[in-house]
Amino acid sequence: PLLLPQNAFAHLRRQAAALDALRPRLNACCRHHSPLPCARRAWTDVLDGFCTDEFGVKTRQFHCCRRHGAA
């Protein structure tokens, strides 16, 4: 668990949660018959979830969440 104060640093907790969600999905992709497309799908799914969380709070969103599509 992150050792951050409970009353601040929520943006870092959201980033860490996204990376924690990505790790098991990438591990599963290593055993997949086509690992690169699997890893790309895992990354985009986790990033989409992260950006949904980012836009759900009244703080400045992470810069990558303002991009769309392949960007």
pLDDT at 7: 72
pLDDT at 63: 67
Is pLDDT of 71 > 60?
no
Transcribe 3-70 into DSSP letters.
---TTS-HHHHHHHHHHHHHHHHHHHHHTSSSHHHHHHHHHHHHHHHHHHHHHTSSSPPPGGGG--TT
pLDDT at 16: 87
pLDDT at 70: 53
> What pLDDT, in 10s, does the model give residues 11-58?
888 888 899 999 999 999 999 899 999 999 999 999 888 888 887 777
pTM of whole model > 0.75? no
